[in-house]
Amino acid sequence: MPVASSSKHTLSSPQPHPQRQPRKEKAWVDPTALPDDLDVDVALIGGSAPEYVKQLVCNTFYSYGVGEPDVFGYAVGRATRFVEMSVEPAPDRAGKMEATTVAEVTVTKHMLNGAGMLHGATLTYLVDNCASTPLVVLGLMTGTNGVGVTQGMNVLFHAPAPLGTILRVTSTSISMGGRVMAARCEITDKVSGRVVASAFLNKMQPKAKL
């Protein structure tokens, strides 16, 4: 029989595995990959956001949000113009930033319902697209993708808007997470200041392939 060795067998320490780098998922929509919208002069857009951010937000709004001429709401979306995009420290939230965008659009006949007032579907379309833009601004300023798909919105209708009303759509970011984000929106009559509607919008960043 073989004789067991009297020497003590020493186990070597396990070698650490190479550090695994987290896989970076492809963005659902990358604002930097969209073509410049040549119909927009970002120099005319006020606010503290850098001009490159204003351009990328407009690219995202018109290319992804509005889309091509034969899709739903195209005329309403293309008629909407941004007048301000800003990003500032968030009040009462140390270290956080808050983005605001302001857009304007005039109510035309094809936006009306049978009673001659702004149709609720038109208004909801404006909320969905416009309230998304401060999230894109904030994402570009903080290195987070702020483009997502809508999970839900809560819209309150306060007053009618007849033909010719200039709507002022003010949207502000509320929160920005890795996947979930939220914004609020108020639509007013630019001339009278009357509130037409207010809303909250929740969005999420899906995987590139649904």
Map residue 61 onto helix, strand or coil: helix
Encode pLDDT of 106-135 as tens digits: 999 999 999 999 999 999 999 999 999 999
Q: What domains can you pick out in the chain, each with its CATH number?
A: 31-204 (3.10.129.10)
Strands 166-176 and 180-189: antiparallel
- Report the 10 Å Cβ neighbour count for 177: 10
Q: How confident is the model at residue 205 (pLDDT cuts 50, 70, 90)?
A: confident
Better-predicted residue by pLDDT, 90 or 138: 138
Q: What is the pLDDT of residue 4?
A: 45
Q: What is the pLDDT of residue 23?
A: 46
Better-predicted residue by pLDDT, 178 or 174: 174
pTM: 0.84
Q: How far apart are CA 85 and CA 172, in angstroms?
A: 10
Q: How many DSSP H helices and E strands does the chain contain?
A: 4, 6
Question: What residues contact 29, with CB distance under 8 A and at least 6 apart?
Answer: 60, 64, 145, 147
Question: What residues contact 161, with CB distance under 8 A and at least 6 apart?
Answer: 107, 117, 118, 123, 167, 189, 196
Q: How far apart are CA 164 and CA 82, in angstroms?
A: 18
Q: What is the pLDDT of residue 210?
A: 47
Closest CA to 58 of 75, 81, 79, 33: 81
Produce one character per residue of 40-51: b if its CB has 16 or more CB atoms within 10 Å, e if not: bebeebebebee
Closest CA to 30 of 69, 52, 51, 59: 59
Instruction: Return the DSSP state at 118.
Output: B
Q: How far apart are CA 169 and CA 196, in angstroms?
A: 10
Encode pLDDT of 31-81 as tens digits: 999 999 989 999 999 999 999 999 999 999 999 999 999 999 999 999 999
Residue 25 identity (one-letter amino acid): E
